[in-house]
Structure 1
Amino acid sequence: MAGDRARAGRARTAPADQGRVRSREPVQSWKGTAVIDPSAVRPSPRQLAWQRQELTAFVHFGPNTFTDLEWGTGVDDPAAFAPSSLDCSQWVAALVSAGFKSVILTAKHHDGFCLWPSKYLPHTVSAGFGRDVVGELSAACEAGGLGFGVYLSPADLYQEKAPGGYYGNGSPAVSAQIGEFTYVVDDYNRFYMQQLHELLTSYGPIAEVWLDGANPTHSAQTYSYDDWFDLIRRLAPDATIAIGGPDVRWVGNEDGFARETEWSVVPFLNGQMVAEQTAASVAGPEELARADELRWYPAEVDVSIRPGWFYHAAEDTAVKSVPELLDIYRKSVGRNAVLLLNIPPDRRGLFADPDVEALTAFGAAVRQYYDTPVALPGEVNVVDLREDITAGQQVESFAVDGLVDGSWQEIARGTTIGHRRLLPLESPVTVNDVRLRILSARADAEVSLSVHFDPLL
């Protein structure tokens, strides 16, 4: 299940050779010049566009949907995947209506089954269902104005267990042709990159490539991350590479919250994050003091709308409520992260009714309570701060005062802001005006302040 998945290794830090460059060395497209001044670190255009989405969706779909498993075995019958009424446009319509900006599909989960007719193996939709789910969702996203991303699991139980499989087979690295490019890789990395090439050239445009760190296999297999990143940058230069990739890090849990102090400026030492991604602090003073490099490395918060990541009919009554989803929203989007909310299609190939109802109500609540500020004077219970992150992330601590009955009173206090900070008040208060006091900052920062009232708090 979700917790098992995290324990199995999602919290992988960036590879040791990723970004180990200094200011006088050549800089490859995914690598950043060494920076030790935290006020000088800036997001790339792709990271900025990614952060501004705020709401993104995950779709876990595959044989597990039909076998009632969370992690498949790798030898499941591909004919088990048999949605009766697949309609990717229904997914897109529900997501767009709720305010989501992009969706990431599990094109291949850990079981190795492919939701597109890959020419590199038989364990795909071609073995039974016969329809290209990746292609249909890509087309629906383009028609609906939704960004499209792909999850391609590095771990592959089918390639580990199938006769002649490549995963962990001990093959040497040799010259391999990947489309129009040549790399020196072993059998499995060649296979993985061939699949990346298929996805990035046959579908899209691709907004995000998601590389899960979880690994249920039992074979030793080294991943050629730098070659993967190079191929993605060549074929999809605007796509963010997430979770262990160079653009976006895992927040460190699957419970729907970022840290109260969440920095996008993250310290590295010898090419690795100083702290584990699961640590309570990944970019505090102690971590900064140990760094030889700082990078813009923002957090993504992945959580499911249900207890499981794949659909299980028994969980139809356990879909998160609107107050629960709004709490997640405040603690992810409202803590300088992007929310990646999983909505798993059912065995029909549709978002189930309880999920659509929750999404619809959640989107309406966000629009009503958080998209439009309260006109003052008025009653408020949430403060909303936004830092201009094109100039970096600078604010270390702040306070917000409210003008109450003719005098200024402190109503909220916090640490980092970043792209957005939503801070609930202890109780509602009627104010005539509000003001921000920046208590500590790394450099000058431009911050906007607004206030909201959420009746569900």
Structure 2
Amino acid sequence: MRRSLRTCLVGALTASALLSTGMASSSATPHNSAQPVSSAPPPGSEERDYAFNASATQSTTDFGGTADRAVDGNSNGAFDHNSVSHTTLEVQPWWQTDLGSSKKLKKLVVRNRTDCCTDRLSNFWVMVSDRPFKSADVDKARHERGVTAFEVGTLDAPSVQFALNRSARYIRVQLEGTGYLALAEVQAYGDNVVSPSAAAQSWVKNNPFGMFLHFNMSTFTNEQWADPATPASAFDPTGVDPDQWAKSMKSAGMQFGVLTAKHHDGFALWPTAYSDHDIANSPYQNGTGDIVRDYVKAMHANGLKVGLYFSIWDRHEGDSTALIENQLRELLTKYGQIDYLWFDGWGWQVPYSQIPYQPIRDMIRQTSPKTVVANNDHNSTLQTSDVIVYEVPVQGMPPATNARPTDGSDTLDTNQTWFHTTSTGAPRSAQDIVDNLNKAKAGNALYLLNVGPGRDGRLPQNYADRLDEIGALLNK
């Protein structure tokens, strides 16, 4: 028999409505009437999640499902995407977070895993308090002074939402019986909003069209993700022609480019002092021997703005804040103004609990104040990016109703490859690209179109020709 959701209000607390997200056959107690959680944030802004990257603990941990996974911004819900916290099989397992200080809360959202075992999140309580919970027993904890508790019987949807009108610092989720407790995400919202920066809005408005240049070790290992154990000697282009890249961008009507300075395998296209997996240890000696430098020079010579792709996830050196900050300082101080930094691997491979977003973003602001950040974490939040990223082959084009500054990253290749390999197909039609560019503009997004240079370091001629056609169509 399915139990309804009901609110247990302890002490002199005012009852508030409990709202469900897609929950079947569930209702609040009779004395609570459904009502809006809060007014919508201003256009282009979003509600701030106070629980993001907050301190989290749980009764036990199993299968590597640490408590911080439920406050890391990754609500994907799949365990193999590092999205799910997980306890052992035990009596009344619990998970909780400390927001750091009491926050005026209007809404809580608890998200279930989505890959399997969704029925495990049943017969549980969600509790909030300004004081630490004293008891590990669910009945005692929910009756502690100052605790507001919500009971959930059967969760029939990926998430459940609760309306609040009180301050709280501590949030606990706890099963009533014996089982595993697994959570995809716990989110807490109040009146605070995150608004886009003026710099991000200006960047998207003034730079609607750019070229993504996936050119790195993967081109030479003939795969989209190169093996991080591949020796630096494997990177051996017969010639690299950044001036051809830049002139093709101009011909297509683009304003900027983004070059993969370092992909997930960790190979650096510049001579970095912090890894031996770099161009200085490869056979490449053309130009200055530094592809990032030659690229930046060509971009500036052609009146184009400069973007760099940087993978936070480094499968060669490992993930460390020191490595990231040191390599970013090299890129941001040795080559002149870097207008756009495009991050990847963060959130979905390297959790924010391991490499926090805000300290890295603050370092970038101190080192290069005008640099705008796009972060491909698929979390779609301004809490971890200046510009929201849509990876178009995976997520589709940004919606026309979008009001936040957004990046729609797509491929010119009909086979949707990023690095040029033997799997790369023919270029899409010029009209198709122009149509998508117009869709992006309508949705407050820029359009970042990938063209992967071949092993010779040049854009394939059929791709260069198609870029010319795109430019001609735009100039009609």
Residues 236 and 88 (structure 1), Cα distance of their counterparts in 2 relative to 1, 3 Å cut: same
Count matched residues. 283
SS in 2 for 1:107: strand
Amino acid at match of 2:448: L
Q: Counterpart in 2 of 1:205?
A: 337
* Cα shift at 1:57: 1.5
Alignment of 1:275-354 (within 5 A): 298-306=405-413, 307-316=416-425, 318-354=426-462
Q: Does structure 1 conserve the Cα–Cα contact (< 8 Å) formed by 2:261 and 2:269?
A: yes
Tell me whether 1:135 sits opposite 2:293 in the alignment.
yes
* Cα shift at 1:221: 7.4
Q: Counterpart in 1 of 2:327?
A: 195
* Cα shift at 1:122: 0.6
**How far does the alpha carbon of each residue in 1:258-278 deviate from its partner, in whole angstroms, 9 at most, with x for none?**
2132222xxxxxxxxxxxxxx
Q: Does structure 2 conserve the Cα–Cα contact (< 8 Å) formed by 1:46 and 1:238?
A: no
* Cα shift at 1:10: 12
Q: Does structure 1 conserve the Cα–Cα contact (< 8 Å) formed by 2:242 and 2:298?
A: yes
Matches of 2:196 and 2:316 in 1, distance apart? 41
Matches of 2:407 and 2:247 in 1, distance apart? 23
Q: Does structure 2 conserve the Cα–Cα contact (< 8 Å) formed by 1:157 and 1:217?
A: no
Alignment of 1:233-244 (within 5 A): 233-243=365-375
Residues 10 and 104 (structure 1), Cα distance of their counterparts in 2 relative to 1, 3 Å cut: farther
Higher relative contact order (CA 8 A, sep 6+): 1
Matches of 1:344 and 1:79 in 2, distance apart? 20
Identity across matched positions, percent:
29
Alignment of 1:342-421 (within 5 A): 342-368=450-476
Residues 217 and 249 (structure 1), Cα distance of their counterparts in 2 relative to 1, 3 Å cut: closer
Amino acid at match of 2:453: P
After TM superposition, the score normalised by the length of structure 2 is 0.55
Matches of 2:242 and 2:82 in 1, distance apart? 28
Q: Does structure 2 conserve the Cα–Cα contact (< 8 Å) formed by 1:208 and 1:241?
A: yes
* Cα shift at 1:367: 1.8
In structure 2, runs of 5+ residues without a counterpart are 1-77, 84-97, 105-189, 378-383
* Cα shift at 1:360: 0.8
Residues 305 and 204 (structure 1), Cα distance of their counterparts in 2 relative to 1, 3 Å cut: farther
Tell me whether 1:64 sits opposite 2:188 in the alignment.
no
Q: Counterpart in 1 of 2:362?
A: 230
Amino acid at match of 1:304: T
Q: Does structure 2 conserve the Cα–Cα contact (< 8 Å) formed by 1:141 and 1:148?
A: yes
Q: Counterpart in 2 of 1:83?
A: 237
SS in 1 for 2:237: coil
Matches of 2:264 and 2:460 in 1, distance apart? 24
SS in 2 for 1:94: helix
Matches of 1:149 and 1:104 in 2, distance apart? 4
Tell me whether 1:120 sits opposite 2:228 in the alignment.
no
SS in 1 for 2:260: strand
Structure (1 or 2) with the greater helix fraction: 1
Amino acid at match of 2:434: L
Matches of 2:349 and 2:412 in 1, distance apart? 27
Q: Which has the larger radius of gyration?
A: 2
Matches of 2:351 and 2:252 in 1, distance apart? 42
Matches of 1:116 and 1:21 in 2, distance apart? 45
Tell me whether 1:261 sits opposite 2:401 in the alignment.
yes
Matches of 2:388 and 2:456 in 1, distance apart? 33
How big is the alpha-carbon RMSD for the aligned residues of Structure 1 and Structure 2?
Answer: 3.1
* Cα shift at 1:76: 0.9
Matches of 1:216 and 1:74 in 2, distance apart? 18
SS in 2 for 1:261: coil
Q: Does structure 1 conserve the Cα–Cα contact (< 8 Å) formed by 2:212 and 2:257?
A: yes
User: Which of 317, 322, 333 matches 1:159?
Assistant: 317
Amino acid at match of 1:156: D
Amino acid at match of 1:360: D
Q: Counterpart in 1 of 2:203?
A: 49
Matches of 1:227 and 1:205 in 2, distance apart? 21
Q: Counterpart in 2 of 1:111?
A: 265
Q: Counterpart in 1 of 2:63?
A: none
Residues 203 and 9 (structure 1), Cα distance of their counterparts in 2 relative to 1, 3 Å cut: farther
SS in 1 for 2:211: strand
Q: Does structure 1 conserve the Cα–Cα contact (< 8 Å) formed by 2:437 and 2:446?
A: no
* Cα shift at 1:324: 1.8
Matches of 2:388 and 2:241 in 1, distance apart? 31
After TM superposition, the score normalised by the length of structure 1 is 0.57
Alignment of 1:5-24 (within 5 A): none
Q: Counterpart in 2 of 1:399?
A: none
Residues 310 and 48 (structure 1), Cα distance of their counterparts in 2 relative to 1, 3 Å cut: same
Q: Does structure 1 conserve the Cα–Cα contact (< 8 Å) formed by 2:431 and 2:473?
A: no
* Cα shift at 1:53: 0.9
